[in-house]
Amino acid sequence: MSKVCVIGHRNPDTDSICSALAYANLKNEIHGGGYKAYRAGNVNGETAYVLDKFGVKAPTYVNDVKPKMRDINYRPLEGVKEDYSIKRARDMMVEQKIMALPVLEGKKLKGLISNTDIMQADMDVYDNEIIAKSKTPYKNLVEVLDGTLYVGDPEGIIESGKLTVSAASVDTMETFIRPKDVVILANRPDAQKAAINRGVQCIVVCMDTGVDEDVIALAEEKKCTVIATPYDTFIASRLICQSIPVSAVMVKEPDTIEIDDYIEDVTEEMTKKRYRYFPVLNAEGEFVGMGSRRRLLEFTRKQIILVDHNELDQAVLGLEECEILEIIDHHRIGSLETVGPVYFRNQPVGCTATIVTQMYHENGVEITKPMAGLLCSAILSDTLMFRSPTCTPVDEKIARELAAIAEIDVEEHAKSMFRAGSNWKEKSAEEIFYQDYKKFSANDINFGVGQITSMDQSELDDIKETLLPYVESAREEQGLDMVFFMLTNILEETTHLIVTGEDSIEIIENAFETKVEDSIAVLPGVLSRKKQMIPNILKVI
């Protein structure tokens, strides 16, 4: 979600989806890109029909917009291998200006090595068998000593013997040099031969002026590795301890962060740890970058544009941790609060798509056939083909203009849409319930209102039997005071309302001067949730 997110409400209807797509397209036309439509719920049958008819792909689904670690821009970071020398690891840290590096095998994390680990390893060397105990490859010795390998296998590993510096005479070498030792000595052929004959596994010849051929021949015969270095014995003895492999000092099971972890949780966890850097892994357990406190502080919140809603209870999860840039809506002004001022366009029309179309005209942006099809479909859906009391002359005028651009017949297209959206027979009670469902709050009373429409009353009657037992369980599960569900017949312009929750019957009977029988109220002329159902309920509350 690197682009500005244009998104409608949860359980999106056709207006929510189509307005998000059309508005993101408008913003991209004006600004040259940077905006993308998303959806906070499943695409219903009606909307799927519209998208398919006009050849438009559904917006990307997001469960929540709460900032996650994947939203941080990780810089490219080269890790180290287990057999790298600690000197090489430190040089890489200096070059990349970082205090820790991941130890990788391919993309899999094997450990973590920090500047502190290297410093402690370099400063705390009191064991002359450290090279062998660390299973150090010969190639590491050649690397850190800027050496030349005259005899031996660079991939070979030192697994036994101590490290010693020979400054004594040849006659006394036998008293302190043992077979399999690694010996640092000067460029004296007699001392070199004596060490090789003693059975050492490696000699390091300092102040390199070349190694005599007879020394090389003897080393090959005795299978002794010969490395020459330009450094003197003091420098060589200091450097050689930095040849131990990263695997000897790395943290083998470091604390890690998952790429889908919430930044809020990661920040809290980081405050409990002494480490500054944390490897970030993807779902496959592969290393993707390094997390740090500094990068969390530099994080920029996601930028969101809301369409077709302005209430937090209806918005995608995690919205409160994002930056809202704009709100384009046609509903009542609800509970949503913003940190700073935003562009807020709210008009008393029947559909958000009507407002979006006006904004195309205002900005001089041409409406293409696919966009016209989406916008027209949204208006027909929200206004129930101009039958809803929310419909204004502006909605109908704009819808018919859009229909001409989209080359569709308004009446035939609307019927096809409604038919596609009212195929309820194969859907579960839960799927039907959340098809178009919103939550509201007033005077500490929390309630939900759902709605489905059909042109077939027998179909609505069948759905009623399916939904009646489910609505109450949904209310309890959500912890709401009341839930109302509208079964609206478009042709008869009547709603059969399912009523559940304490005081819900009294509220509906007072709001509509009707009687509730067996949890059902019949409401002639009631088609709109926005303009009829919600205002009447709120007045009574």
Which fold would CATH assign to domain 86-248? 3.40.1390
CA distance 478 to 433: 13
Domain 429-540 is classified in which CATH homologous superfamily?
DHHA2 domain (3.10.310.20)
The answer on pLDDT for 358 being more than 70 is yes
Could you read off the pLDDT of 96-117 as tens digits, one per residue?
A: 888 899 999 999 999 999 888 8
From CA 204, how far away is CA 148, in angstroms rounded? Answer: 10
Q: How, if at all, do strands 482-489 and 494-501 pair?
A: antiparallel
Take residue 505 and report the two structure tokens written for it.
């019957």
Mean local confidence (pLDDT), 296-304 = 81
Contact present, 131 and 202 (Cβ < 8 Å): no
Query: Tokens 């290297």 identify what position?
Result: 118
The answer, yes or no, to whether residue 270 has pLDDT greater than 70, is yes
State how far the Cα of 134 lies from the Cα of 137, in Å rounded to an integer.
9
Judged against a pLDDT cut of 60, whether residue 506 lies above it is answered with: yes
pLDDT at 14 over 90: yes
Q: Average pLDDT, stretch 243-250?
A: 92
The verdict on domain 4-67+302-421 having CATH code 3.90.105.10 is: no
| Residues in a beta bridge with 28 | none
Q: What is the pLDDT of residue 168?
A: 66
Confidence of residue 267 (pLDDT cuts 50, 70, 90): confident
Other Cβ atoms less than 10 A from the Cβ of 436: the count is: 25
Residue 145: per-residue pLDDT: 95
Both structure tokens of 231: 């450094």
pLDDT band at 124 (very low <50, low <70, confident <90, very high): low
N-term to C-term CA, the chain? 40
| Nearest Cα to Cα of residue 124 among 242, 290, 30 | 242
> Which secondary-structure segment (H or E) carries 480?
none
Using 50, 70 and 90 to split pLDDT, how confident is the model at 130?
Answer: confident
| pLDDT for 125 | 63
Over residues 380-419, the pLDDT tens digits come to 999 989 988 889 999 999 999 999 999 999 999 998 998 8
3-state secondary structure of 358: helix
Residue 336 has pLDDT above 90, yes or no: no
pLDDT of residue 486: 95
Strands (E), 187-297: 202-205, 225-228, 257-258, 277-281, 287-292
Strand 225-228 with 202-205, pairing = parallel
Q: What is the mean pLDDT of the chain?
A: 90
Q: What is the pLDDT at residue 24? A: 97
CA R_g for the chain? 37
Tens digit of each residue's pLDDT (9 = 90 or more) over 182-224: 999 988 888 899 999 999 999 999 987 789 999 999 999 999 9
Q: Where are the domains of the chain?
A: 4-67+302-421, 86-248, 429-540
What is the helix (H) or strand (E) element at residue 344, kind and residue range? strand 343-346
Confidence of residue 330 (pLDDT cuts 50, 70, 90): very high
- Residue 1 scores a pLDDT above 70: no
pLDDT exceeds cutoff 60 at 229: yes
Question: What pLDDT does residue 2 have?
Answer: 56
Q: At what angle do helices 352-362 and 369-382 cross, to 10 degrees?
A: 150
**What DSSP string describes 384-395?**
TTTTSTT--HHH
Q: Which residues have C-beta within 8 Å of that of residue 288, sequence separation ≥ 6? A: 74, 259, 280, 281, 282
The confidence score (pLDDT) of residue 458 equals 86
- Name the pTM for this structure: 0.66
- Please give the DSSP secondary-structure letter assigned to residue 529: I
Q: What does the pLDDT look like over 134-144, one tens digit per residue?
A: 999 999 999 99
Of the ranges 11-20, 230-239, 488-497, the best mean pLDDT one: 11-20
| Residue 470: CB atoms within 10 Å | 17
Average pLDDT over residues 59-65: 92
145 within 8 A of 231, measured Cβ to Cβ: yes
Closest CA to 209 of 236, 186, 184, 226: 186
Residue 43 has pLDDT above 70, yes or no: yes
Give the mean model confidence (pLDDT) for residues 158-172: 82
Q: Three-class SS of residue 137?
A: strand
> DSSP letter at 104?
E
Local structure of 439: helix, strand or coil: strand
Show the tokens assigned to 70.
């994947």
Tell me, what's the pLDDT at 324? 94
pLDDT greater than 60 at residue 33: yes
SS3 per-residue string spanning 280-309: EECCCCEEEEEEEHHHHHCCCCCEEEEECC
Nearest alpha-carbon partner for 377 in 2, 18, 1, 9: 18
In the structure, what pLDDT confidence band is assigned to residue 457 with cuts at 50, 70 and 90? confident
Question: How does pLDDT run across 63-96, given as a tens digit for each residue?
Answer: 889 888 888 877 768 889 999 999 999 999 999 8
pLDDT at 422 over 80: no
Q: How far is CA 497 from each of CA 214, 419, 430, 468, 528, rounded to the nearest angstrom?
A: 103, 21, 17, 10, 12
- Where is pLDDT greater, at 19 or 121? 19
